[in-house]
Chain A
Amino acid sequence: MFADALTSVLDINVILLTALGSLSGVLIGALPGLSVTMATALLVSLTFSWSMEYALAMIIGVYTGGVFGGSISAVLLNIPGAPAAICTGFDGYPLAKQGKAMMALGLARIGSFIGGLIGLFFLAAFAPPISVIALSFGPFEYLGLITLGLITIGNLSEGSFIKAIISGLVGLLLSTVGMDPVYGIPRFTFGSMELMSGIGLIPCLIGFFGLSEVIVQMRIPSHRHKMIDQLGNVIPKMKTFLKMVPLILRSSVIGAWIGALPGVGGTIASFLAYDNAKKTVKNPTQPFGKGAYEGVVAPEVANNAMIGGAMIPLLTLGIPGDAVTAIMMGAFIVHGLQPGPLMMVNSADLFWFIVILFLIANILFLFIGLFVTKYFTRILSLRPETLMPIVSVLCFVGAYAIRNSPFDIVIMVTAGLIGYLFKLIKFPIGPLIIGLVLGGMADGELRRVSMISEGNVLHMLFTRPIALVIFAFALLQVLDQIPVFKEWRKVTGKKIKNGLKIKK
């Protein structure tokens, strides 16, 4: 079976199409506003008449390349090309400002590669058991995970803690706009039909990060001259990575696990991984937020490990894990294949074909990424008055292209102006995006929890051990930020140490 899969992969056309997909994925991902989801959707309809193998090769190439591509613009322009790349920009852009753009992109590229491989390993080796555990996650466990995600807001603040919280709350508030998930009643839509489906994440993202950055850079030019100074350092040292092995492992487990949970997505995976890195890495190369290598590697590892994870529910249960796998599922069906529990049994060669394709796509984009980043970094030598107008046009096109809706442009521009204001008064934007991403989910899960438990939420929580552990962990993280508790922990910690000494 494995051999069959291998021979079908070794078709030169398959490899060429994967490479083509990977290249276009990196490019599409790198352009702010053009999303991988959109690219795969378009591709799938293009590949209806192709053979299954060719169609898959192209789609997998785009998927793998696209996730990495999003980080290119995050590092170079401080404009993430995709929501999952937001965290990469936190440390990647400061690195670029220090003239280490190539280093940051090298870290992102190799981090993505390693993350992709580990995610793939989880898919190849543990797909059935992981899917079983993922299924045991119900509304209670999801709510717990989302709570954990919301708590990361406190850890993402670069300056004022209060400002981060306010920004996060604004995001939560924005997420309540639109049709209520249970009764379908419009909330805060002010009679506007466009607002019924809520405030779109992508237009917001493009506005908050893209357009606002355009305004900032046109008014106050950044350190361009420095950025292009030292481009030589393309490949990070082996030693840098060896030191990060534990972090990489943790981030990839986070990524693969979040990916395996249907409907959670890469954005949250990268935020959790960044948060985890910030908490666990005691001596980063530079402080987090100012160009820590770890801050670039962790989210990149996670959002690529997410791909392997997201394929697990698709291939073992026929349930897509994110927007791209949902489109992939459509492609499978069009080509007469039903992804599901029987796929591993009836068409195991196809399963291995997919795994090998992902492997090839990962290896290919490692090289294609190198090639592309080399050229992409050249845009740094463009003057802001040349580059930024181009970016702003992309912002408009990107916002429109998601749903072909002019209203999304209005949202994008509004978000851009608010984002600029935020940057002026030094409010972080990251927490706002987390609030926006998680708010809707938290709303839905909370309502489900209360509906399933018929109002006795706490009572039922104690019958669900996994959820209880997650909530306890979340509570601990909150308590850890309270001064009184910190003092108490210090004191008891000393006491324990003293006690040990006495025993000796």
Chain B
Amino acid sequence: MAESYGKKDKKRSENKKVEGETYFQEKQMEGRMKREKILLLVLVLMTTLTMVLCAGGQAEESVANYPEKEIEAVITWGAGGLTDNIARNFIPLMEERLDGASIVPQNKSGASGALGSQYVINKPADGYTILITTTESAGVWNVMGTSDLDVNDFQPIILLSSLIPTCYVKADAPWDTVEELISDAKSRPGKIISGYAAPGSLGHVSALLFAKHSDTQFNMVPFGGGGKVTAALLGGHVDVAFNPLITVMANHQAGKIKILSTFSNEKLLEEVPALGAVVPSFSEVLPYGVMVMILVKKDTPAPIVEKLTAAAADAMKDPKWQEFADKYYLQLMGDTGDDFWEKINNWKPTTTWLLYEAGVATKSPADFDIPKK
């Protein structure tokens, strides 16, 4: 583009530049040393602050008077996402039941939630940092090779809720029931395209689970996000997808998609059959869903864990929470203590072995003493 300009113009603008510079050049050198010193000072200061941040503050607090200060709630998924919305709706209810202590939500996403969890592990086990995460991250890090951390490195407070996936297809798809989809998939293995968000995500595990227990094969393609999967399905680029109810309800009500079934043994929606009821081979692994849970670091003093658990368990009964759960199509859980571990230990073998057998997980669950079901 510069060629289109006359040389005169160019020269003129250059001259202008020079005029402006000479005036300042004299003052430049004297100020320069000073500025560089200031710059250095600020950078050193900020770096020190960073290091302090990395190290994290440590102070002694008494267990009996817990909570004496703000509690930090680390959410391992990004702001505005499903987990974040669930957590941010639950936190105020829990606050009310902790003598008005404030719980400050913080999003620390990254590495499927392993980053935020590592942050909690690096903090003291004093109950002032709690972790809100999902099973589809904390339960699979070790086999996926994401992190050495595991749910076992934490102590449970409560299992909040479960988001149950649905199997859905476009409205004009040739299948009206799951059985039709399964028999078609059997007749042409690997030809039907199934979309999912990311490796090891709920959509992916559900697709693997579906294929395994219906003895079918799909061409599974990751799309980088649940929304993009639905968009690709509506555009006809993907044949079938698996996502939680909340994300597909709008298109279902508008008749743009057909929900063939939900990953449960009992009906969740009046018009949609439960997978366990129509295909009996599924009933033993269902209901299946991604669970949102609250954890604290292992070795947190028992009285603190009890206080938090009591507050959380009571908050579960709050009508506001029930109302939110209805809006969000959440399956409320509320398991604490031993019940929590029972649910997790029941869930873990199914998912980890599925991922390992599909070649998604790099390490065998057997290495982590996870029994095969």
A-to-B contact residues, CB < 8 Å: 37-38, 40-42, 44-45, 48, 134-139, 179-186, 193-194, 196-197, 214-215, 218-221, 223, 225-226, 262-263, 278, 282-284, 287-288, 290, 313, 317-320, 323, 326-327, 329-330, 333-334, 336, 338-343, 345, 384-385, 388-389, 392-393, 396, 400, 403-406, 409-410, 413, 444, 447-448, 451-452, 454
In the complex, what residues of A have CB within 8 A of residue B236's CB?
135-136, 138
- Interface residue range, chain B: 35 or more
Binary CB contact string for chain B from 100 to 123 against chain A (1 if under 8 A, 0 otherwise) = 000001111111101100100000
- Give the interface of B toward A (CB within 8 A): 1-2, 4-5, 13, 20-21, 23-24, 28, 31-32, 34-36, 38-39, 42-43, 46-47, 49-50, 53-54, 79-81, 84-85, 88-89, 92, 105-112, 114-115, 118, 144-147, 193, 198-200, 219, 221-225, 227-228, 230-232, 234-237, 246-247, 249-251, 253-254, 256, 324, 327-328, 360, 362
Q: Which residue in chain B gives the minimum CB-CB distance to A183?
A: B199
Report the nearest B residue to A444, measured CB to CB: B224
Closest to A338 in B: B250
A38 CB to nearest B CB, Å:
7
State the CA gap A396–B24 with chains docked (Å): 30
Query: Is the pair B108, A181 in contact by a Cβ cutoff of 8 Å?
Result: no
Contact B223 A448 (CB under 8 A): yes
Residue of B nearest to A226 (CB): B20
A262 touches B227 (CB 8 A): yes
A317-B234, A318-B250, A320-B227 as given contacts; A194 in contact with B115, CB under 8 Å: yes
Q: List 7 A-B contacts (CB under 8 A).
A: A134-B231, A193-B111, A218-B39, A338-B250, A341-B254, A393-B42, A405-B108
CA distance A172 to B246 in the complex (A): 36
Question: Chain B contacts of A40 at CB under 8 A?
Answer: 80
Measured CB to CB, the closest approach of chain A to B217, in angstroms, equals: 13
**Cβ contact within 8 Å between A452 and B193:** yes
Contact of A327 among B79, B108, B115, B328 (CB under 8 A): B79
Known: A223-B24, A336-B327, A343-B250. A330 touches B81 (CB 8 A): yes
Residues of A within 8 A of B79 (CB): 37-38, 41-42, 44, 327
* A403/B249 in contact, CB under 8 A: no
Other-chain residue from A183, A218, A282, A340 in contact with B4 (beta carbon distance below 8 A)? A282
Whether A45 and B105, one on each chain, are in contact in the complex, defined by CB atoms closer than 8 angstroms, is: yes
- A405-B89 in contact (CB<8A): no
* Contact (Cβ within 8 A) A45 B39: no
The answer to whether A181 and B50 have CB atoms under 8 Å apart is no
**Is there an interface contact between B1 and A138, defined as CB atoms closer than 8 Å?**
no
In the bound complex, residues from chain A placing their C-beta under 8 Å from that of B32 are 219
**Cβ contact within 8 Å between A287 and B253:** no
Interface contact B31-A385, CB-CB below 8 Å: yes
**Given A193-B114, A263-B224, A278-B1, residue A317 in contact with residue B80 (CB < 8 A):** no
